[in-house]
Every structure is written in C-alpha cells, then in structure tokens.
Structure 1
Amino acid sequence: MASSRQHLDALTGLRFLAAAHVVAYHVYHLVFTATEAPPGLHGLIGSGYVGVSFFFVLSGFILGYNYLERPPDTREARTAFWVARFARVYPIYALGLAIAAPAYLKSLLTAWTVTPDTAWRESAALVLAPLLLQSWVHWTALAWNAAGWSLAVEAVFYAAFPFLAGRLGRLGPKALAVGALAVYALALSLPGLYMLVDPDHTGGTASAYNSGPWMLTLRFNPLARLPEFILGILAGRYFLLRASEAPRSRPVVLSVLGVIVIAALMGSPFLPFPLLHNGLLAPVFAGLIVLLPRSRGGVARVLASRPLLLLGEASYALYILHMPVMFAWKSVLKRLGASPTSAWAVVALLGVMGVLSVLAYQRVEKPAREWIRAWWMGRTGQRPVTTGLQPRG
C-alpha cells in the first residue's frame, strides 16, 4: 500500500487540469460566443462543465481509497469524518461567498427594485448558500457564487459516505462489476428520461444556456449526481483490491482513454447535453483515475511534478474562487474603460486567478483546516479522520 500511495501524486496534477478546464470554460464564454469560436475549440473548451463530473468521480475514489478499509462506522468516527470534510472544504467556500457578496447583494437590490414579486427566490440563497443547501432548489443553485453548487452536492456525498462505505467496502470483483454497471445505468437513466419526456419543452435544445426548471434540477440536484460519486467509490474499492500489484507503464490504455475524452469533448455538439453533463464520461474518468496512479509512464511523471503538485493542491481554491474573481475583474475593467475580452485582460485575469488560488491555499485553506482540527482535538480529545490525499470538495 505504501508504494501505491506514493504514486497518487499524479491524481493531484490531474485535478489541476480538470479545474483548469472548468475555468477555461467560463473564461472562454467571456471572450467568445458559440458563433465566433472555432468549432474544435468550442467543443473542447465549451464542454468544461464535464470537469465537475470528473471531480464527483474523483471525490468518491479518494474517499473510498482512504476509508473503505477502515470505514467510519461508529458515531464518533462519523462525526470525526464530517469535521475533517468541513475543515477541508468550508474555509475556502466561505471565502468565495465573501468575494462574491458585493455583486450578489447588488443583484438582490436590483431584483427587489425591478421584480419584487419574484425577488424572494434569489434572496433564499442568503440562507441556503451558507448552509450548503442551494442545490436542492433549482432557482438558487447558481446564486451567490455559482461554482458553489457542486459543494452543496458534495456535502450530501460526505453525509452519505459513512453509511455507504461499510457496504461497498466488502464487495468483491464480480459484485464491483455488476454494481458499476448498475450505477452507471442509473446515472444515465435520469437524463435519458428527461430527453424522452422533455418536460421543459426544449425541443432537444437543452444546454448550459437553455435550461428550464427540470433541466436545472437534473443538473444540480444532489440525488441526480450521486451515482457518479458512488462509481468513484467502486473505483476506489477496485484499486484497493489491486493494490498488491507493482506499478507499471500503461501508455496505450491511458492514451486510448485520453483520446476518448478529447474526442467526446470536441464532438460535444453532437452528444446530448443532458447525458454529457450528468456522467456520460464517468466510466472513462474512473478508468483514468484507477490506471494513472499505477503507471510509471511519462504522463504520470509530468502530472506528479512539483509545479503541477502545487497547482493541484490549489485547484480547489481555483475552482471556488474563479467566478467571483472573474466578475470582480470585469467590474474593475469596466470602471477603467477597458475591454474584458482583450488579450492582455484575459491573460492578466488568468494570472490573478492562479496567484490568488495558490495564496488562498497556503494562507487560508491550510491554516483554517489546521485550526479547525486543533479546535476539534481540544474539544473532544481526538483528531478528526485525516488522510494524505484530500478530495476536492
């Protein structure tokens, strides 16, 4: 087990690439429109939302890898687990809310002035977002800090994991295969049903920018995304079963999986948005996550390099903070009379995001995490469950 743990660094580097894909997706729509962008670029970067599906699978894998052999199956262990997860994700999440607060409160004031009859919907996020409940209601899922919707989903995953771990941690290879197929079918059944019924009357045009209430519920409701997380746990169980195998180079398999991902993303205009958004590539992500740490190839070495390790550790801060930073940057440029779509402004924005995420990781995330753990130890005389490789929230 010790040798395999050393090779999980590659997943930290991969985590940065997934977060960068999500960031590129949002910055891309700041610069281009669908009609202006080159078709290949539009498909590849314009499908950055699938990075969140990757994170859901990765989160399940990391928790499974770290906890399935000793699941938190007592009241004390479950509480310690939840405190550890809170310490991991909430400080940066709160920082994101603070940075986004001026723009959000300004939008609330406008809403109460212009459309007072419906402004209460946006205002509900004042209560729901700090409690990580906004994704349960489709009209608040993207309110305040839009990137926070996935943290509300992850909160449900964290709540459920101790009760899933004891059962999934006992599965053998055959049961894992059956379970993975069943969970994947469940993940696709809801978007498939949506496409069949079309409750929002989209005429097959549902997209990230053309979604009715049922599509928003499908995209953001925690229960709709739970199968992707469970698939990750199953991948973690499979990885543990194969832990005694020596690491080896699998360049062909990794290359094939990578080509599948890239081809799917570049051809995304031809793939149904509901399926692609809600886990169509989840098995491919699970395959990459399982194989990469066991590889000694060049890709794994690059992903485990020191620069990518640092960026990977800061990727959670990058993900949570990038949207409020982007909107704050647009506001600054507007006051300066500069265009946010100019090349220098985009490069500067990316630089600011990168530096801020590293600083937030080093100056906020790590110290706050340790403070919460120390507080918990002083309160109870025990440490919350900790691991060497932390999941992205």
Structure 2
Amino acid sequence: MKKTTSLISKKHYPILDGLRGVAAIMVVAFHIFEAHATSHLDQVINHGYLAVDFFFLLSGFVISYAYDDRWGKMSITDFFKIRLVRLQPMVIMGMIIGAVCFYFQDSVLWPTIHEVPIWRTFIVMLIGFTLIPLPISMDIRGWQEMHPLNGPGWSLFFEYIGNILYALFVRKFSNTALAVLVFLSGCLLIHLAVTSPNGDVIGGWSLEPAQLHIGFSRLLFPFFGGLLLHRIVKLTTIKNGFFWASLLTIAVLAIPRIGGSENLWMNGLYDSLSIIIIFPLIVFIGASGEVTGKYSTKICKFLGDISYPIYITHYPLIYIYTGWAVGNKPSFQEAFPFALLTLTGAILLAYASLKLYDEPTRLWLKQKMLTYKSAFITVK
C-alpha cells in the first residue's frame, strides 16, 4: 500500500474564488466588444486584457498560501502532479472545443476547411493538449498564436512556467530575495508598459522574441508579487469585501483608454500601476473579507467554479462571433442578441464542462495519480 501524508485542511478564501469568476466574465465581455472596435483606443470594456495579470497575481497568492509550508511533507513531483490534475483536463477540453469550432467556422477572417487539412488541425490539437507552444510556421489560423485553436492557452503556458520556477527555485527564497525579484520584475513590467508601441501590456501569445518578452514581463511581477503579498501581508477584517473587491475589479477592467493616441505612455502607466498597486489591494480586500450570507456564499462558489472553465473554453466561441461580426459589420445594437447569446453560451459551456467532464476527470486522476492527501484540498 502506498504511503500517504495527511494534513489539516486550510481555510478557504471564497471571495477570491468569486473575484476570479467576475474577472473571467469580464474577459468574455472584453473579447465580445473587441469584435466591434476599430482599435483598442475605442474599445468598450477597454482594459479587460488586464484580467490575465490579475489571474497571475491570484495564482501566486493562493499557491503560496497552499504550499509554502508543505514542502517538508510534499515532493516536487507531488506538487507538479497536483497542478497537472488541477489545470490539464480543462486545457484538453478547451483544445477539443477549439478544434470542433475551427472545423465548422465560416468567415472571411479564417482559412476554410479546404485550406487546412483535418490531419493538420488534429496535430495542432494534440500538441495543444500538452501546451507546448507552436512556432509561427505551424499557425493554422493566421493570428500567429502559439495555440491557434484556443488562444488563451498562452497564459496557461506561462502559468505553468510560474509554477515550475516556484517549485524549483523561488519557494526557497527568503522574503528579502523574493522582494528583490518582485521589485526588478515590477521595473521590467513598467518599462514594457510605458514604452509599448500600443501603450499597453497586451500580448504574449506568440512564440517569437517580442511576444515572449511581453509574456514573461506579464507573468513575473504578478505571479511572484502574489507570492510575496501572501508572505508579508497581515490580513484584517473587511466588511462587504466581495462587493468592494468586485467593484474595484470591474472598474479597473472597464475604464476607458487613458491618454488617447497622443499619450500612449499614460495608458501604459495605468496598466502597470493597476497590476502593481490596485490588484494587490483587491486581493488583500478579498482575502480579508468574509462571506456569511447564504446567497453570497452560493454566488462566490458558482463564480469560482466556472472561472477557470469559462476562461479556457470561451475563446472558440469568440472566434465564431468575431468572424460573424467582421463579415456582417452589424452595429452593436444589431449584434446585441448574438453577443448576449455568446456570453450566455460561454457560461453554460463552462458549467457543463465543469460538471460533466472536469470534476469527474479530476476526481479519477486524483485517485489514480496522487498519494499526497492534501492534494484533495481544492486549490484554484
């Protein structure tokens, strides 16, 4: 019989789960409005892309909370197994959904099924299951994505890199060494944002030097900043924490473009300061708040449950919506029923994927792969 390690379950942060869901829904809305914008200067829900950086910070905070004090009883292999079980099933589902939608897509934006053989799509899907990034030469869509069947896979690729760096090296850092890393990463992020040709931190999804620079710059500060935040922060008690943290999250992601086309650096400064100052504040509020009401508890749980599934499965629907919007050029008023259908469909698809596939698959994988008992504690 395999030996197991039993640890007492830790306190859960339901508000942080709820905030993840709020941000995920904002991402879907951001991508829907993106199909109707002429550029990021005039897009509604203008800063929805910052949700990725918010997710990185949340991940760093929660991973530090869940694992920092368990390394004496947990191996690196245990940690990697736990993270694979948590993340990989929905990566696979997202790629399958992306392949199906790619095959049936019909728009002037995308190549037709006659231009991309099924066998090539199948190979791209199989590679996507592993999250190994594809070179631009293997792109089948034309957007130069490292995962052309499901674009948001790029952020999961960097999420895994953050996990690997944490497990192999950064978990051993003293708070001083970690603070130095976070400070330097913050400088890198600010430099990227204020010198960006577009005045923002958008990017990271291609396997080429400029995009990889963006991806690593977006990962390092928030992920390890979240780790440092958990290590040094002293939580307090904040009333209505979910309300205030959600309001701040929505405001940061929805605020119009700063500075216009004449002062692009101003928007870059907004991006970097949001990531460096406001997002840690939101996480602090969320971790310090309590959820006591029955309905608030249910809302946070629901939003937390669908947050990862909706993020990793919604984009194939966005490809379809964007192709339709660009091909037909409707006003947003004309497109509103289809936009609402896309948003609702993304939520329903996420919930169905969660209940019918992700939860049963993760339970089976835990029973087959994991001998470390604390792995059964849900870490989002």
Q: Normalising to structure 2: TM-score of the pair? A: 0.74
Q: Note the 1:1-393 alignment, pairs <5 A.
A: 5-6=11-12, 8-30=13-35, 32-34=36-38, 42=43, 45-71=45-71, 77-104=75-102, 110=112, 113=115, 125=124, 128-134=127-133, 139-168=144-173, 170-171=174-175, 180-192=182-194, 194-195=195-196, 202=197, 215-220=210-215, 222=216, 225-239=219-233, 242=234, 247-249=236-238, 262=251, 266-270=255-259, 272=265, 280-296=274-290, 304-328=296-320, 342-377=335-370, 382-383=371-372, 385-386=374-375, 388-391=377-380
Q: Is the 8 A contact 1:22 1:319 kept in 2?
A: yes
Alpha-carbon distance, 1:133 to partner: 2.4
Structure 2: distance between partners of 1:188 and 1:257: 25
Alpha-carbon distance, 1:305 to partner: 2.6
Structure 2: runs of 5+ lacking an equivalent: 1-7, 137-142
Q: Flag the 1:112–1:158 CA change in 2: closer, same or farther, 3 A.
A: farther
Percent identical among aligned pairs is 21
Structure 2: distance between partners of 1:207 and 1:157: 18
Alpha-carbon distance, 1:315 to partner: 0.9
Q: Is the 8 A contact 2:238 2:285 kept in 1?
A: no
Q: Flag the 1:294–1:277 CA change in 2: closer, same or farther, 3 A.
A: closer
- Which residue identity is paired with 2:89? P
Q: CA RMSD in A?
A: 4.4
Structure 2: distance between partners of 1:353 and 1:259: 24
Structure 1: distance between partners of 2:154 and 2:34: 19
Superposed CA deviations along residues 76-134 of structure 1, whole A, max 9, x for unmatched, are: 711111111111111111111111114446899759959x9xxxx99995565332122
Q: Is the 8 A contact 1:317 1:358 kept in 2?
A: yes
Q: Is the 8 A contact 2:59 2:226 kept in 1?
A: yes
Alpha-carbon distance, 1:257 to partner: 11
Superposed CA deviations along residues 282-314 of structure 1, whole A, max 9, x for unmatched, are: 332122112322135x8x969953023112211
Q: Normalising to structure 1: TM-score of the pair? A: 0.72
Q: Is the 8 A contact 2:24 2:308 kept in 1?
A: yes
Alpha-carbon distance, 1:4 to partner: 8.3
Q: Is the 8 A contact 1:125 1:134 kept in 2?
A: no
Q: Secondary structure at the match of 1:362?
A: helix
Structure 2: distance between partners of 1:265 and 1:178: 32
Q: Flag the 1:251–1:94 CA change in 2: closer, same or farther, 3 A.
A: closer
Q: Is the 8 A contact 2:22 2:246 kept in 1?
A: no
Alpha-carbon distance, 1:51 to partner: 0.3
Q: Flag the 1:102–1:257 CA change in 2: closer, same or farther, 3 A.
A: closer
Q: Is the 8 A contact 1:314 1:361 kept in 2?
A: yes
- Which residue identity is paired with 2:70? R
Structure 1: distance between partners of 2:166 and 2:178: 17
Residue 199 of structure 1: aligned partner? none
- Which residue identity is paired with 2:185? V
Alpha-carbon distance, 1:262 to partner: 2.7
What is the aligned residue count?
349
Q: Secondary structure at the match of 2:221?
A: helix
Q: Flag the 1:219–1:385 CA change in 2: closer, same or farther, 3 A.
A: farther
